[in-house]
Amino acid sequence: MSEAIKFVLKGERDYVQGTSVFNALVDVASKRGFKSGTLSMSLKRMLVGTCCVVEQRASEADDAVIAKFTDDDGTALSLVITDSRPEEAPVREPFDEDVACKGSTLCGESIFLKNPKHDDLIELVVSLCKKMHINTVSSTKKWIFSRYEGKVPLARPERIEIQIRKKVGTKLTCSDVIFDGVKVADLFFS
């Protein structure tokens, strides 16, 4: 079973933002009966085209994105994104990570935000994590959200904390995503 998805490009990016992919996959899974549980999602390569196809099947080596949803009752749903075609004039949407992160506080290899205002929680979490990486790991590297392992859907917290837990130089990091004192996900950047 496949479904076509058309993404918008955010800000000045020349690729589909990983948070847009996350939200699209959660939406498709919801339409197919997924309510809540966990998501294991890997962005294996950037989507430079905005016209994509989501398929419900086991992953293959050439898939751009692979996702496995596991419902609270243990039922699994595997989705992949297989196709990415560019458009002549892709739709663009303004996006400013600094505005999304407004009010956040850096402390060592952690970042905190109380009473988040940004509507899209995964977009906010990834923006906070990227800000932390730029300020504490490397300001010259182009940090890319590459993997998510955690709860879905995300419930709006009063406080978000993100802590770098592991890093391999400036090649790969794994960060804990903590909502109101409870770990909800691992977020990987490369």
Q: What is the pTM of this model?
A: 0.95
Q: Could you give the CA distance from residue 49 to residue 160 in angstroms, rounded to a whole number?
A: 32
- Residues 100-155: pLDDT tens digits? 999 999 999 999 999 999 999 999 999 999 999 999 999 999 999 999 999 999 99
Mean pLDDT of 19-28: 98
97-189: CATH number: 3.10.129
pLDDT at 86 (0 to 100): 74
Q: Give the start-to-end residue ranges of the domains of the chain.
A: 2-93, 97-189
Residue 117: CB atoms within 10 A of its CB come to 10
- Residues 60-84: pLDDT tens digits? 999 999 999 999 999 999 999 987 7
pLDDT at 169 (0 to 100): 87
Q: Could you give the CA distance from residue 47 to residue 139 in angstroms, rounded to a whole number?
A: 24
From the list 60, 83, 73, 4, the residue with the least C-alpha distance to 33 is 73
Is pLDDT of 88 > 90?
no
Residue pointed to by tokens 């749903």: 77
Length of the chain: 190
From the list 14, 43, 6, 5, the residue with the least C-alpha distance to 122 is 43
The first and second tokens of residue 71, run together, are 């419902």
